[in-house]
Each structure stands twice: as structure tokens, then as C-alpha cells.
Structure 1
Amino acid sequence: MLFRQFVLVACSAIGAVVAGPVQNSHLVLPPDAATHKQAVLNIFLESWAAYKEFAYGHDDLTPVSESFTDGRNGWGASIVDAMSTMLIMGQTELFEQSVEFASKIDFNISHTTDTTSVFETTIRYVGGLLSAYELEGQKHPILVEKAKEVADKLSLAWSLGNVVPYGFVDFNTSQAQIATSNVAEAGTLTLEWSTLAKHTGNDTYRQLAENSVRHMIGLTPPLPGMAAQGIDPGSGNFVGAYVSWGGGSDSYFEYLIKYPRLSNTNDNIFADTWHTAVDTSMKVLAHNSTVGNHLYLADWDDGQIVHIGSHLACFHSGNWLLGGKLMNNQTIIDFALTLADACWNTYASTLTGIGMEQFGFFSSDGNFTGATPTDDDLAFYAEHGFFLFPGAEYYLMRPEVLESNFYAWRVTGDTKYLDRAASAITSFSKWLKAPSGFAGIWNTNESDSGFIDDMESFWFAEVLKYLYLTFDDPNHISIDEWVFNTEAHPFKAPPAKFTYGSGKVGSTSSSSAPFKSESGKVPEISFAPVLGKQIKGQRVV
């Protein structure tokens, strides 16, 4: 029986229910947890030492060539992204050195010729600075000043009278880049910009970010609660009809439930839209594989189910656990845990024990993936219930599977999630150890595929933080007290409200018009400068 066949009762309940605590209050760490936590700290310190030797002050270390890249405008992304992790790991000396560096960053100009991503700069720089400010007890106001400095420049993304921000700004000419965007880029600003508003007393920051999300919620979506991936800031209309929990859409949905938790807003529109998106996903996107009965969320392309999943999308189970607990909805919680198992299977099934960027699967209702699997792919599927998507077999040091694993441990207390995290530590230590620091690999199912010569800043910000916290005292950074942004920077949350959302699912659009969108080039998503490929609409091209 397909899991999604019995999801309707709790998801369609009428009337809100009392919010439950998110974190299990009876968590007990086993004796070996301290050993695993120390192993993660050692990886962090080794990675940081390599970065400091070969790339300090630049954005990323290139761990094979022992040099650096500046893909985030050359402001030292790894330093700012690592600050919250340093505090959580008790590395106060490294943190103070990083504050000294951050205090001298000139965010008024880019140190490269690249335009500046509003999304990436918000989640890494604005988020990293503000989270560090809150975690260390608000002792360094310069961190807020620097967050304000970069946000003021990013606000040029709204300078043409548009409610939805443009995705990129040229800091050197002070002009927005006129181009289509996607809902993740336009809708993943509310946590950071509302926190900046709180610490500066200027509510304009919150209003800019929140109004963008309100506008997108108000559009008629292709599926209930589920925004199309593309958005044109100029017209304010959707572009195309692609729906996904993966890159380009992912953190838009993520923040629909995290923003009401962090802000405790009394407006139900955000939580209700999230609830509706989850309900729709269970009914339309959820499919079980014909081998192994693994539960996946497919993509949807203007009525066509696309049987693919991705590492990026695997954040969904952790996000659903958070929302399911806030809504006291056991159906969502159980569904989320089943999704987490399927995502972990993409790690457990490979030769390296590490998950790939993207995978395909088949279900009883179809097998369209957008690519033609080889005989080897079909043989792998017959054993594991998924196959590595052609051209996306690599691991780019992403966190999402381990992020959801962290939430699953903190919510359930089931030690199988500790075992999974320990397995990941072992795999990373064996397969990602580069000449200096750690690196991604080109094929997670081969022993000699070679390294990807880039150690992204989110290795510090996300992967190692979530692994460390999995084995740390659960009362340290409790998920009842902190809300993580999509770059794993925690923000201090107020005590939880009595309820989140109205308990109803259905249309949250302010428009009664049928869905419509513009045609145009699908926005570029999930692009890593080091790779010779791009992913658009979740398809490698």
C-alpha cells in the first residue's frame, strides 16, 4: 500500500491543534558520543588549518591545488560562515580572530568582477554575522553593523519598484541585474532580514523580505500551496510550471514554517501555505520505488511527474519534522521519518557510503526521469531502489541528508540516527581527505573518481555543525530554542506560541484567477563554479 494513501486525515484536519515541543525531552547520548563529537571537531580543525594556510581571507580553499577561489565576491566566505560553528564547538580563540577579520570587510564593493547573489550573500554573510552576534551574547555590535552594511547594498535588488527582489546586484555599479529568478532566491530572506530589523530597529528590512514572500503566496500556484520554481521580479509572475522540493525551490518552502516559528507572527498565511504544500506533496509528489518501497518526493513539470530526487531536496524530512511537531501532526512526522530513511539509503548504498547530488527512481505509475538509464544504472536500481543520475554522481560536501538526520535524532531519540552520523564521519574521513583539508568527490560509487578541487564554506557552516550537534549535549542549541537558517546559522527563537497555522489546508492564494506563468529561460540553480555542468529545473544539462 502506498504510504501516501492514508495521509489525508491529519493533514486535512479542521482547526488548529496545540503546538508540541519539537525536541524529545528524554534524549540520552551513548558513551561513544563524545568520541564521535571529538572526531568531528578534529575534522573541523584540520579543515580550518588548511584553509588558514592556503586560502585565509578568500572565500574557499582549493584542497587539491592548495590555493583558493573567490566565488562569493572575495569577502572571506569561509571565515564568516564558520563563525557560528566555532562558537558551538567552543573555539573562542578562532572566533575572536574571525571577528577581527569580519570587522574589516568592506562590503561596499566586490573584490571580484562577479555580481553578488542576494540569496547566497544573505544566508552566508548576513546570516553568519547575525547568528554569531546572538550566539556569543551580543558582545560584538560590529557584527550587526557589518550585516547592515551588506544588506543595505543588497537592498538595491528592490530598487526598481519591484516587490520580489532581483537575484543579483552589481556592487561595483550599484545596479540590480535584470533577469528572472527563482522562489528560493526570492523567498529565503525572511529569517535573516527580520533578525537584522530586530537588532537595528529598522523594520524596513523585515518588510522587504516578508512582502516578497507574501506576493508569491498570493499568486495562483500550479499546485495548491506549491509555488512554481521560476519567478520574474519585473512582472511579479511565475516563470514556467516546475514544482520541486529541490534546488531553486527548496528553502522557499523551508522558511514558510521557520519564519512563523522565529517571528511568532499571528498571521497564519505562512504556516498554512507550508501545511498546504506538505499536503499536496503527500498527495501528488510522493511515490514509492518499485524496488525497496522507498518513499521519495518526485518533481512535477507542468503535469508531468519527474521521478528524481536530490541531495538538496533531502532537507525536506528535517523541515517536515519541525513543522509536524509545531502542528502536533503525527502523520507529517511519520511521513518525514520515512523520507529520511529513503534519503539515507542513498548514502548506505554507495561504495563510499556517501550520497550523490541527484538520483532517479521508478514507481508503479511511471519511470520518467529526464534521462535514459544505462544497463549499469538499471542493475544498481534493481538492488537499491534508486540509481545515480547520469552526470550528477558527485558529492559536493552538501549537508541536507545529515541535517535531516540531526532533526530525526533530536525529535525521536532513536539511536539509529547516531549510527548513521557516525558512519558518515567514517566515510568522510576515508574518502574526502585531500592533500590539504577535505574535498568533494566526482563519483560516490567509485573508489578512484578523483577529488573536486573546492572546499565550500558550507562544509564549515553546515556539514560539520550538524554532525557535531548530533553528538553534543541536546540541551546545547535545542531546536526548541533556536531556529536554523538554510545555511545552518542558528537564530534565538522566542518561546513557542500556542498554535502555528489555522490547521486548515487549501488555497492560500489571494487570487481566484487560474494559474498562469510566463515563458522564458528557467533560472539557473544549484550551480557550483568548480563544476563543468549546471543543474536547471533539477536536470543536469
Structure 2
Amino acid sequence: MFPAVILRSLRSLKVSMRRVLLLSIVALVLFSAYHISSISSLSSLGLHWNVSKNTPEQNDDVYNANSGVDIWDWRAKRVRRAFVHAYSNYKQYASPHDELLPLSKGRRDQFGGFGVTVFDSLDTMYLMGLEKEFKEAVSVVRQTRFEIMEQYTRISVFETIIRHLGGLLSAHSLSDDSVLLQKAEELADSLEPAFETFSGLPWSSINTATRDPSGGYIGSLSEVASFQVELAYLAHKTGKKRYYKRVAKLLKTLAKTVPSHYEMLPTHLSLLNGFPTEHGFSVGGGADSGHEYLLKYYLLTAQTHNSSLELYMRGMNHMLTNLLFLSPERSLLYVTDRTDDGQASHVFEHLSCFLPGLLALGVHSLPASAFSDAPLSQGSVLARYNLSELHMSAAIGLGESCWLMYADQPSGLGPEEVSVFPPPVSHDPSSALSASSGLWIDAMERWREGGEEGVPPGVGQKDPEPDGTRRDYELRKPEYFLRPETIESMFYLWKTTGDVRWRERGWTIFEALERETRVEVGYASLTTVAESQALKFNEMPSYFLAETLKYLYLLFLNEDRIPLDMWVFNTEAHPLPIFNWTAWEKDMFGIKR
């Protein structure tokens, strides 16, 4: 009997062992499949640093020509990795605050504490296919309340519109997530009191808790005239007239600002009546997006607002004849500003390097009639030119100069400002120097009268001056603040000309960004571009993720994710789809051409 019991027990144990073995094999297969799937999923999102070092994904720091991967898509993938490095460290050390302090692993709130980096990064994440990060960010946005609790805290109306509101509207247009449109309305309504001025030009700041606007009675052009793109799109998506009313009042005020003898919008305007408070002109800081939105509003609304186009063409034509100069040694084309007394400052700003892209976009997108029928002042020298070709020559020449501001520097990155040496002055009327004003249009006239041999003046610059022997400028502000403007223009110049050199230059800049600004927990601005491995500032602005990395990614990506004939980027690089006002909207809003 005892042996029989043992036999039965052994048989039972044998069966159990078989089951255990079978279950173990199944578990092992499932475990392996799960991790293979996870690695594949991470790879599709560009999160390759979690993969084993022996995999091809981990070893893609150096391009492998035999991998079968296109080099430009590989470069886009590298930018996506850079974005994840920046954003993941922001999430770990700074969220839900505004921005990461990368050197101290801290955070700062200077845009209301609403988490501006999240809002600014939404559409970048979506375009890069970072689905998990995008969904998590939408959850953060859903819980955000746009109320500043501190009594004396103010937020910039301009920055909030271009960063937060622009980010929400763009991410909604890409994803069709209704939460984002709902939050966009909520945010726009919290800013409403800032627009309650006689001219419709908004106050510069507001406390969204007390609803008290504040600021001086004089506003810079960029601050008071750069909201029509976002509010018009919001009006179109919601069907609510109150948003369009702000746009209509602004455009009416701007049309009055430029009488027949006043070609270009000045840098500062009165909030009381919209009239100029000075006679200075610029396309740099304080003015840039004011000019930019004239063209972009016209394009966004399917080229239907003719007064906005007219203001754009007047302003750009005035800029071509009055604000463009050639440097005396290398004939670098640069744009500067004129002060209230009419003097040119010869300061060339990094912020002005958006202009080549804007001019190229205009040539690419506008009908030929926009140039042939452009309003010109009586006796204007521009009547002798094909304006479309002139705008494009300026775009290419300026783009090359912006690139050389990078290529000239030991760091490979561009300074905040340079002072270009003014043209030499001769008091002898017979001297050849007396014919050289330094103005680009004067050089163009001499080129035209000489039979237009070769390329136009200021176009065709190729060689950097790393040793400084032929530089005809000096660094005025040597810092680099992770700015996007030069890369933005490279994106537009690539899309409009097809010249691959703009992509190659963009890649060179990205390599410099990785070499000079990448730190352990993100990226940091530089104190100077005049040396490699310079000291860094403890900051990573949100526009680095919204603009700099997005434009680089789209510059390298072979797939045309945002076709220029279907989308318009706001000044913070948030793309919005071009739309036509419906008949109902035209009637309801009182829209006229």
C-alpha cells in the first residue's frame, strides 16, 4: 500500500511539474514580447536612450550610410531626441512651473506660473509623434486655471497670446482635442479687459485674478499689433463675434496710422488713438511681429483682407529702401533701425533674422498682382524693379548674413546683436566714396545701371571669417539665448527655394547647439558666442522647444508636415490652418474685404 501511495504522489508531482514548466515558458514568452513591444514603441517615439547600447538605435549618434535610413530623416530624429532631453528634464525638475533652470535643476515663473513650457511644447510634441507626452501635457492643460493669485503679479498680454493661446489653438487644430479649444476660450476671456482701450490696442499686462490691466499709454508695435492671427482663428473656430471685434478694431486703427506720406508702421504707438509717438522705424525687437502679422493675417484668412496686405507691402518696400545696408568690407546685407531723428543705428539684431523667412514666404505665397500693383510713393526707385525678385534677393542676402553671424563665431552660434561698421564718409564730391552711402538700394541701382552683371549686391556670400581678419562688425551683445530666428528663416528659404544649402547650414547650427548648449538636464543659453564652451546662463526659454527645435525638425524632415499653402505659423511657430470665412461669419461679424 505504501509504495502505491508514493507512486500516485510521484505521478501527481510529475503532472504539476509539467504545468509549472509550461506556465514558466508562457510567462517567459509574454515577458519577452512585452519588452520587445515596449522597445519598438519607444523607438517609434524617438526615445532611444532607454534601449540597450548594443542596438542600432543607441548607436545612431553617427550616421550610418549603409543603414538604409535617409540622412535627413535621421537628422530629424536627432532633433526629436534633443527635444525629449529638454522636455523630460523640464517635467522632472520644473513642471508645472513655467520654465526649467537647467544648471541648478530649478524652475522659474515669469509668465504667470501657468506652465508656459507645456503650452508652448504641445504642437511640437504632436508633430514629433510623442503621443504619451502629448496626452500627459493635455491632462496638465485641462487642470490649469488662468488666475494669478498674487495681487501685484502681472502677465504680458503679448507673450500670453503668442505662447499659451497660440500653443492651445495650434495643438487643437492638429489633434482636434476639444479640451484645448475650451481652454483657449477660457484664456482669451481672462485677457479681455486688456483690450478695453480707445484705440483697441491692448495694455501691455494684466492680472487675470483681479482682471486689472496695466502698463503705459505707449506700446511697442509688436506688443500692441500681434494678436489678430490668434483671435481671428479663435473667432472662426467658436463662431463668437467678441474675438473678431478685437481684430477688426486693431486693423482699423493700423490703417489710420499710415497716412499717404507715412509708409511704414513706426516702432511705438499711442494706446489712446493709435497714432505714432515717435518717428523711429525697425523690424527688430519691439517691432518684428507687428510687421510679420500683417502678411500672416492676410494669408491665414485665405488672402481676403486687402488692407492688411497693403500695410505689409508698404512697410516692406519702405524697409528695402531705408533700412537695408551693405557692410563696407564684405558687403554683408543687413537690416537695421532708424531712430527718432532719422539716423541709422547700424545695429544688426538676431531678432531681425526672422525677416529673410518672412520675405521669402511673401514671394512664395502672394499672387504676382500683390507685387505688380503694390502702392509706391511718387518717384520711388522701386518702380524700376520687379518687386517680387527684389524681395527674394533681399531674403537670400539677409539669410546668408544671418548664417554668417553664426559661422563666423568660434562657438558656431550667433550673437544677440552686432554693430556693423558704418560706410566710410568722404567730403570730396569727386571721391568714389561719396557715391557709396551703404544703402543696399543705392548699390542695387549701380548694379542695375552697370548691366546687372553677376548676382545682386549682398547675395552669394559663402565664406565665414572665423579668425576675424575681415570682419566689419563687432559684437555688441555677444550672448546667445537659444533663439530661433535664423533657423526659422532657413526653414522658409529651404521650402521656397529648394536650395539644400539651407538644410546643411541648419544641421551645422544643430551640431553647435548640441556641442555648446546641451547640459545634463536640458539646454542653457550662452554668455558669449566668441568662445567655445563658454559660461552659460541658468535658463532654458520655452521658445527653444516651441520654435528652435520645431523649425530644425521640420527643416530636416522629408515629409512636408506643414505645407505653406495650407498652414500659417504664428510668431511663436505655432501652425494654424488657413481658412475661409463662411458666409454666416461674414454676415455675423460684419467682415468686409
TM range (shorter): 0.7 to 0.9
**Mapped partners of 1:488, 1:432: distance in 2:** 21
Structure 2: runs of 5+ lacking an equivalent: 1-68, 369-387, 426-436, 439-464, 582-593
Amino acid at match of 1:289: S
1:418 maps to which of 503, 518, 530: 503
How do 1:32-71 residues align onto structure 2 when only pairs under 5 Å count?
32-71=71-110
**Cα–Cα, structure 1 residues 495 and 468, in superposed 2: closer, same or farther, change >3 Å?**
farther
Is 1:129 the counterpart of 2:168 in the alignment?
yes
Is the CA contact 1:394–1:441 (under 8 Å) kept in the aligned structure 2? yes
Is 1:152 the counterpart of 2:239 in the alignment?
no
Is 1:346 the counterpart of 2:405 in the alignment?
yes
C-alpha displacement at 1:286, in angstroms? 0.9
**Cα–Cα, structure 1 residues 51 and 267, in superposed 2: closer, same or farther, change >3 Å?**
closer
CA-to-partner distance for each residue in 1:171-200, whole Å, 9 max, x for gaps?
Answer: 232111041211111111011001111111
TM-score, with length taken from structure 1: 0.80
**Mapped partners of 2:543, 2:206: distance in 1:** 22
Is 1:452 the counterpart of 2:537 in the alignment?
yes
Is the CA contact 1:39–1:425 (under 8 Å) kept in the aligned structure 2? no
How do 1:254-293 residues align onto structure 2 when only pairs under 5 Å count?
254-293=292-331
Q: Which position in structure 2 is the counterpart of 1:109? A: 148
CA-to-partner distance for each residue in 1:281-332, whole Å, 9 max, x for gaps?
Answer: 1111111001210111121112111101111110000000111222342221
Per chain length, whose mean CA-contact separation is higher, i.e. which structure has more relative contact order (CA < 8 Å, sep 6+)?
1
Q: Which position in structure 2 is the counterpart of 1:440? A: 525
**Mapped partners of 1:379, 1:435: distance in 2:** 29
Q: Which position in structure 2 is the counterpart of 1:536? A: none
**Mapped partners of 2:525, 2:158: distance in 1:** 23
**Mapped partners of 1:172, 1:223: distance in 2:** 44
How do 1:356-505 residues align onto structure 2 when only pairs under 5 Å count?
356-364=415-423, 383-389=470-476, 392-494=477-579
Structure 1: runs of 5+ lacking an equivalent: 1-29, 369-377, 497-541
**Mapped partners of 2:493, 2:526: distance in 1:** 26
C-alpha displacement at 1:223, in angstroms? 7.6
C-alpha displacement at 1:267, in angstroms? 3.2
**Mapped partners of 1:193, 1:347: distance in 2:** 35
C-alpha displacement at 1:213, in angstroms? 3.4
TM-score, with length taken from structure 2: 0.73
**Cα–Cα, structure 1 residues 222 and 340, in superposed 2: closer, same or farther, change >3 Å?**
farther
CA-to-partner distance for each residue in 1:26-74, whole Å, 9 max, x for gaps?
Answer: xxxx931122111101110111111111001111000001000111100
CA-to-partner distance for each residue in 1:377-431, whole Å, 9 max, x for gaps?
Answer: x998652333211xx2101111000000000111111111111111011100110
- Where 2:519 maps in the other structure, the secondary structure is coil
CA-to-partner distance for each residue in 1:145-185, whole Å, 9 max, x for gaps?
Answer: 11111111111112244421111112232111041211111
How many residues are aligned here?
454
**Mapped partners of 2:299, 2:424: distance in 1:** 37
Q: Which position in structure 1 is the counterpart of 2:178? A: 141
Larger radius of gyration: 2
Please, which moves more after superposition, 106-115 or 453-462?
Answer: 106-115
Runs of 4+ in 1 over 6 A off after TM superposition: 365-368, 378-381
Is the CA contact 1:75–1:111 (under 8 Å) kept in the aligned structure 2? no
C-alpha displacement at 1:240, in angstroms? 2.1
Is the CA contact 2:407–2:466 (under 8 Å) kept in the aligned structure 1? no
**Cα–Cα, structure 1 residues 382 and 245, in superposed 2: closer, same or farther, change >3 Å?**
farther
Is the CA contact 1:183–1:229 (under 8 Å) kept in the aligned structure 2? yes
**Mapped partners of 2:499, 2:193: distance in 1:** 47
**Cα–Cα, structure 1 residues 111 and 400, in superposed 2: closer, same or farther, change >3 Å?**
farther
1:297 maps to which of 321, 335, 358: 335
Is 1:227 the counterpart of 2:286 in the alignment?
no
Is the CA contact 2:409–2:466 (under 8 Å) kept in the aligned structure 1? no
Is the CA contact 1:381–1:387 (under 8 Å) kept in the aligned structure 2? no
Identity %: 30
Is 1:237 the counterpart of 2:275 in the alignment?
yes
**Mapped partners of 1:95, 1:86: distance in 2:** 6
**Cα–Cα, structure 1 residues 290 and 379, in superposed 2: closer, same or farther, change >3 Å?**
farther
**Mapped partners of 1:458, 1:444: distance in 2:** 19
**Mapped partners of 2:558, 2:328: distance in 1:** 40
